[in-house]
A and B are shown apart, each in its own frame.
Chain A
Amino acid sequence: MSGVVVECRTGLSTGGTAGRAHPWHPDQGDLVDLSLSTRDEGDWTVVAVGGEIDVYTAPKLRETLVDLVNVGRFRLVVDLEAVDFLDSTGLGVLVGGLKRLRAHDGTLRVVCTQERLLKIFRITGLTKVFAIHESVADATAD
Protein backbone atom coordinates (compact mmCIF):
# COMPACT_ATOMS: atom_id res chain seq x y z
CA MET A 1 0.00 0.00 0.00
CA SER A 2 1.67 3.19 -1.15
CA GLY A 3 1.00 6.57 0.33
CA VAL A 4 1.80 10.17 -0.34
CA VAL A 5 1.89 12.89 2.28
CA VAL A 6 1.77 16.54 1.36
CA GLU A 7 2.01 19.32 3.86
CA CYS A 8 1.09 22.83 2.95
CA ARG A 9 2.55 25.46 5.19
CA THR A 10 1.60 29.08 5.53
CA GLY A 11 4.41 30.45 3.42
CA LEU A 12 2.52 33.70 3.10
CA SER A 13 5.21 35.32 0.98
CA THR A 14 4.63 32.69 -1.71
CA GLY A 15 0.85 32.68 -1.74
CA GLY A 16 -1.84 34.81 -3.30
CA THR A 17 -1.03 37.87 -5.30
CA ALA A 18 2.25 36.81 -6.80
CA GLY A 19 4.81 39.45 -7.49
CA ARG A 20 3.18 42.04 -5.30
CA ALA A 21 5.16 43.05 -2.25
CA HIS A 22 3.09 43.42 0.88
CA PRO A 23 4.35 45.54 3.74
CA TRP A 24 4.24 42.76 6.31
CA HIS A 25 3.99 39.03 6.55
CA PRO A 26 3.25 37.45 9.90
CA ASP A 27 5.61 34.59 10.58
CA GLN A 28 3.38 31.53 10.71
CA GLY A 29 5.93 29.14 9.29
CA ASP A 30 5.32 26.60 12.03
CA LEU A 31 1.61 26.28 11.48
CA VAL A 32 0.52 23.50 9.17
CA ASP A 33 -2.68 24.54 7.40
CA LEU A 34 -3.48 21.43 5.46
CA SER A 35 -2.26 17.86 5.39
CA LEU A 36 -3.08 15.42 2.63
CA SER A 37 -2.32 11.73 2.43
CA THR A 38 -3.53 9.23 -0.13
CA ARG A 39 -3.74 5.45 0.06
CA ASP A 40 -5.36 2.73 -2.00
CA GLU A 41 -8.01 0.50 -0.47
CA GLY A 42 -9.08 -2.05 -3.06
CA ASP A 43 -10.70 -0.21 -5.97
CA TRP A 44 -10.83 2.97 -3.97
CA THR A 45 -8.28 5.66 -3.29
CA VAL A 46 -8.71 7.36 0.05
CA VAL A 47 -7.59 10.96 0.40
CA ALA A 48 -7.28 11.75 4.10
CA VAL A 49 -7.38 15.48 4.69
CA GLY A 50 -6.38 17.24 7.90
CA GLY A 51 -6.26 20.84 9.07
CA GLU A 52 -7.90 23.78 7.33
CA ILE A 53 -9.33 23.72 3.81
CA ASP A 54 -9.79 27.35 2.88
CA VAL A 55 -9.30 29.82 0.07
CA TYR A 56 -5.52 29.58 0.62
CA THR A 57 -5.04 25.82 0.96
CA ALA A 58 -7.84 24.50 -1.28
CA PRO A 59 -5.70 24.66 -4.47
CA LYS A 60 -3.46 21.98 -2.91
CA LEU A 61 -6.45 19.66 -2.49
CA ARG A 62 -7.60 20.43 -6.04
CA GLU A 63 -4.13 19.51 -7.32
CA THR A 64 -4.22 16.20 -5.46
CA LEU A 65 -7.66 15.28 -6.84
CA VAL A 66 -6.67 16.26 -10.40
CA ASP A 67 -3.44 14.22 -10.12
CA LEU A 68 -5.40 11.16 -9.00
CA VAL A 69 -7.83 11.48 -11.91
CA ASN A 70 -4.90 11.89 -14.27
CA VAL A 71 -3.38 8.59 -13.13
CA GLY A 72 -6.69 6.82 -13.58
CA ARG A 73 -8.00 6.70 -10.02
CA PHE A 74 -11.71 7.31 -10.56
CA ARG A 75 -13.17 6.04 -7.29
CA LEU A 76 -12.18 8.45 -4.57
CA VAL A 77 -13.07 8.79 -0.91
CA VAL A 78 -12.25 12.12 0.66
CA ASP A 79 -11.95 11.62 4.41
CA LEU A 80 -12.70 14.90 6.22
CA GLU A 81 -12.61 13.53 9.77
CA ALA A 82 -9.37 15.36 10.65
CA VAL A 83 -10.47 18.63 9.05
CA ASP A 84 -10.82 21.55 11.48
CA PHE A 85 -12.17 24.05 9.02
CA LEU A 86 -13.84 23.94 5.60
CA ASP A 87 -15.04 26.91 3.56
CA SER A 88 -16.87 27.43 0.28
CA THR A 89 -13.62 27.21 -1.70
CA GLY A 90 -13.06 23.73 -0.29
CA LEU A 91 -16.62 22.76 -1.20
CA GLY A 92 -15.97 24.08 -4.70
CA VAL A 93 -12.91 21.85 -5.02
CA LEU A 94 -14.93 18.80 -3.96
CA VAL A 95 -17.69 19.64 -6.46
CA GLY A 96 -15.07 20.16 -9.18
CA GLY A 97 -13.50 16.80 -8.32
CA LEU A 98 -16.86 15.04 -8.48
CA LYS A 99 -17.58 16.58 -11.89
CA ARG A 100 -14.21 15.47 -13.23
CA LEU A 101 -14.69 11.95 -11.90
CA ARG A 102 -18.19 11.61 -13.32
CA ALA A 103 -16.75 12.38 -16.75
CA HIS A 104 -14.83 9.10 -16.30
CA ASP A 105 -17.82 7.23 -14.82
CA GLY A 106 -16.13 7.61 -11.47
CA THR A 107 -17.35 8.92 -8.16
CA LEU A 108 -16.27 10.85 -5.10
CA ARG A 109 -17.56 9.95 -1.66
CA VAL A 110 -17.10 12.00 1.45
CA VAL A 111 -16.45 10.75 4.98
CA CYS A 112 -17.66 13.23 7.56
CA THR A 113 -19.33 12.95 10.95
CA GLN A 114 -18.46 16.40 12.29
CA GLU A 115 -21.69 18.33 12.75
CA ARG A 116 -19.89 21.64 12.14
CA LEU A 117 -18.87 20.53 8.63
CA LEU A 118 -22.13 18.74 7.84
CA LYS A 119 -23.93 22.00 8.55
CA ILE A 120 -21.90 23.65 5.76
CA PHE A 121 -22.88 20.92 3.28
CA ARG A 122 -26.52 21.38 4.31
CA ILE A 123 -26.58 25.18 4.05
CA THR A 124 -25.11 25.07 0.55
CA GLY A 125 -27.42 22.27 -0.59
CA LEU A 126 -24.53 19.90 -1.21
CA THR A 127 -25.89 17.05 0.94
CA LYS A 128 -27.92 16.28 -2.21
CA VAL A 129 -24.80 16.22 -4.38
CA PHE A 130 -22.42 14.12 -2.27
CA ALA A 131 -22.75 10.69 -0.75
CA ILE A 132 -21.63 11.41 2.81
CA HIS A 133 -20.49 8.42 4.83
CA GLU A 134 -19.72 7.86 8.50
CA SER A 135 -16.47 5.96 7.98
CA VAL A 136 -13.96 5.00 5.30
CA ALA A 137 -15.04 1.37 5.74
CA ASP A 138 -18.64 2.38 5.06
CA ALA A 139 -17.65 4.52 2.05
CA THR A 140 -15.59 1.75 0.43
CA ALA A 141 -18.05 -1.05 1.21
CA ASP A 142 -19.22 -1.52 -2.40
Chain B
Amino acid sequence: MALVQLDVVPDVGHVRVARLVAVSLARVNGVDEEVVEDVRLAVGEACGRAVAAHSRAALDEPVRLRFEGDADAGPGMRVEIVDRVAMPEADGEAALALLVGGQAPAAARAEAGAASAVMALLEGLADEVQVHTGTQGTTVELRWND
Protein backbone atom coordinates (compact mmCIF):
# COMPACT_ATOMS: atom_id res chain seq x y z
CA MET B 1 0.00 0.00 0.00
CA ALA B 2 1.64 3.22 -1.16
CA LEU B 3 1.28 6.06 1.30
CA VAL B 4 2.47 9.58 0.66
CA GLN B 5 2.24 12.29 3.28
CA LEU B 6 2.57 15.99 2.55
CA ASP B 7 2.76 18.82 5.06
CA VAL B 8 1.66 22.16 3.68
CA VAL B 9 2.57 25.34 5.54
CA PRO B 10 -0.51 27.54 5.96
CA ASP B 11 0.20 29.87 3.05
CA VAL B 12 -2.28 30.06 0.18
CA GLY B 13 0.62 30.12 -2.29
CA HIS B 14 1.33 26.49 -1.40
CA VAL B 15 -2.13 25.12 -2.16
CA ARG B 16 -0.98 24.84 -5.75
CA VAL B 17 1.78 22.46 -4.65
CA ALA B 18 -0.83 20.24 -3.03
CA ARG B 19 -2.80 20.20 -6.30
CA LEU B 20 0.28 19.22 -8.31
CA VAL B 21 1.12 16.38 -5.91
CA ALA B 22 -2.50 15.19 -5.95
CA VAL B 23 -2.55 15.05 -9.75
CA SER B 24 0.75 13.13 -9.91
CA LEU B 25 -0.37 10.59 -7.32
CA ALA B 26 -3.79 10.18 -8.95
CA ARG B 27 -1.99 9.18 -12.15
CA VAL B 28 0.39 6.86 -10.27
CA ASN B 29 -2.64 5.21 -8.70
CA GLY B 30 -4.32 4.65 -12.04
CA VAL B 31 -7.16 7.14 -11.59
CA ASP B 32 -8.94 7.65 -14.90
CA GLU B 33 -7.50 10.64 -16.78
CA GLU B 34 -10.91 12.34 -16.94
CA VAL B 35 -11.22 12.08 -13.18
CA VAL B 36 -7.71 13.45 -12.53
CA GLU B 37 -9.06 16.98 -13.03
CA ASP B 38 -11.68 16.30 -10.35
CA VAL B 39 -8.90 15.21 -8.00
CA ARG B 40 -6.93 18.39 -8.78
CA LEU B 41 -9.84 20.65 -7.91
CA ALA B 42 -11.21 18.72 -4.93
CA VAL B 43 -7.85 18.34 -3.17
CA GLY B 44 -7.11 22.01 -3.87
CA GLU B 45 -10.46 23.04 -2.39
CA ALA B 46 -10.03 20.90 0.72
CA CYS B 47 -6.43 22.04 1.20
CA GLY B 48 -7.38 25.69 0.63
CA ARG B 49 -10.15 25.39 3.22
CA ALA B 50 -7.75 23.86 5.76
CA VAL B 51 -5.04 26.46 5.08
CA ALA B 52 -7.59 29.26 5.48
CA ALA B 53 -8.75 27.72 8.77
CA HIS B 54 -5.16 27.68 10.08
CA SER B 55 -4.59 31.25 8.93
CA ARG B 56 -7.77 32.47 10.65
CA ALA B 57 -6.75 30.68 13.85
CA ALA B 58 -3.16 32.05 13.51
CA LEU B 59 -1.85 28.47 13.57
CA ASP B 60 1.63 28.13 12.10
CA GLU B 61 1.46 24.33 12.06
CA PRO B 62 1.20 22.71 8.64
CA VAL B 63 -1.93 21.19 7.18
CA ARG B 64 -1.33 17.49 6.57
CA LEU B 65 -2.34 15.58 3.46
CA ARG B 66 -2.17 11.79 3.29
CA PHE B 67 -2.54 10.08 -0.06
CA GLU B 68 -3.15 6.36 -0.16
CA GLY B 69 -3.64 4.11 -3.12
CA ASP B 70 -2.93 0.57 -4.15
CA ALA B 71 -2.36 0.49 -7.88
CA ASP B 72 -1.79 -3.29 -7.75
CA ALA B 73 -5.25 -3.84 -6.28
CA GLY B 74 -6.86 -1.54 -8.86
CA PRO B 75 -7.23 2.14 -9.68
CA GLY B 76 -8.32 4.58 -7.00
CA MET B 77 -7.03 6.83 -4.26
CA ARG B 78 -7.94 7.97 -0.80
CA VAL B 79 -6.86 11.44 0.37
CA GLU B 80 -7.08 12.76 3.91
CA ILE B 81 -6.76 16.48 4.51
CA VAL B 82 -6.18 17.24 8.17
CA ASP B 83 -6.21 20.60 9.91
CA ARG B 84 -5.54 21.33 13.58
CA VAL B 85 -8.20 23.92 14.38
CA ALA B 86 -10.28 22.77 17.38
CA MET B 87 -13.97 22.15 16.60
CA PRO B 88 -16.88 20.46 18.38
CA GLU B 89 -16.91 16.66 17.98
CA ALA B 90 -19.08 15.67 15.02
CA ASP B 91 -19.29 13.25 12.12
CA GLY B 92 -21.08 13.08 8.79
CA GLU B 93 -23.82 15.61 8.11
CA ALA B 94 -23.37 17.31 11.49
CA ALA B 95 -19.65 17.83 10.79
CA LEU B 96 -20.42 19.14 7.32
CA ALA B 97 -22.93 21.59 8.78
CA LEU B 98 -20.28 22.84 11.21
CA LEU B 99 -17.86 23.52 8.37
CA VAL B 100 -20.43 25.15 6.15
CA GLY B 101 -21.90 27.23 8.97
CA GLY B 102 -25.52 27.56 7.98
CA GLN B 103 -27.48 27.71 4.78
CA ALA B 104 -27.66 30.62 2.35
CA PRO B 105 -28.33 31.01 -1.37
CA ALA B 106 -25.57 29.63 -3.59
CA ALA B 107 -24.39 33.04 -4.79
CA ALA B 108 -24.13 34.48 -1.29
CA ARG B 109 -22.32 31.38 -0.09
CA ALA B 110 -19.81 31.50 -2.92
CA GLU B 111 -18.88 35.02 -1.95
CA ALA B 112 -19.01 34.59 1.80
CA GLY B 113 -15.81 32.62 2.19
CA ALA B 114 -17.01 29.89 -0.13
CA ALA B 115 -17.30 27.27 2.62
CA SER B 116 -20.46 25.87 1.18
CA ALA B 117 -19.27 26.10 -2.42
CA VAL B 118 -16.21 24.15 -1.27
CA MET B 119 -18.39 21.40 0.20
CA ALA B 120 -20.60 21.33 -2.90
CA LEU B 121 -17.50 20.87 -5.03
CA LEU B 122 -16.07 18.13 -2.79
CA GLU B 123 -19.33 16.20 -2.93
CA GLY B 124 -19.68 16.81 -6.65
CA LEU B 125 -16.15 15.76 -7.54
CA ALA B 126 -15.19 12.89 -5.22
CA ASP B 127 -16.84 9.47 -5.19
CA GLU B 128 -17.03 9.61 -1.39
CA VAL B 129 -16.59 12.44 1.12
CA GLN B 130 -16.32 11.90 4.85
CA VAL B 131 -15.84 14.66 7.39
CA HIS B 132 -14.92 14.37 11.03
CA THR B 133 -14.50 17.38 13.29
CA GLY B 134 -13.11 17.33 16.81
CA THR B 135 -10.97 19.06 19.38
CA GLN B 136 -7.86 17.89 17.48
CA GLY B 137 -9.11 19.48 14.25
CA THR B 138 -10.95 18.47 11.11
CA THR B 139 -10.29 15.53 8.83
CA VAL B 140 -11.78 15.55 5.34
CA GLU B 141 -11.49 12.23 3.57
CA LEU B 142 -11.97 12.03 -0.20
CA ARG B 143 -12.13 8.81 -2.17
CA TRP B 144 -12.00 8.01 -5.85
CA ASN B 145 -12.79 4.43 -6.68
CA ASP B 146 -11.73 4.28 -10.31
Contacts and interface: CB of A to CB of B under 8 A. Distances in A.
Given A89-B48, A96-B111, A123 B124 contact: yes
Interface of A: 10, 12, 15-17, 20, 22-24, 26, 33, 52, 54-56, 85, 87-89, 91-92, 95-96, 98-99, 116, 119-120, 123-126, 128-129
B13 A126 contact: no
B11 A12 contact: yes
Given A16-B12, A54-B16, 8 more contacts: A10-B16, A16-B13, A92-B110, A95-B107, A95-B110, A99-B107, A125-B107, A129-B106
For the residues of B in contact with A, the DSSP-based class is helix
Contacts of B120: 123-125
Contacts of B124: 119, 123
Given A12-B14, A88-B117, A124-B121, A54 B110 contact: no
Interface of B: 9-17, 19, 37, 40-41, 44-45, 48, 51-52, 55, 60, 106-107, 110-111, 113-114, 117-118, 120-121, 124-125
Nearest to B112: A92
Contacts of A88: 45, 48, 110, 114, 117-118, 121
Contacts of B14: 12, 16
A10 B13 CA distance: 7
Contact of A55 (B9, B51, B110, B121): B51
Contacts of B125: 123
B9 A124 contact: no
B13 A125 contact: no
B56 to A, nearest CB: 11
A55 B106 contact: no
16 contacts: A16-B13, A17-B10, A17-B55, A54-B48, A56-B16, A85-B40, A87-B45, A88-B110, A88-B118, A89-B48, A92-B110, A95-B107, A120-B121, A124-B106, A125-B120, A126-B107
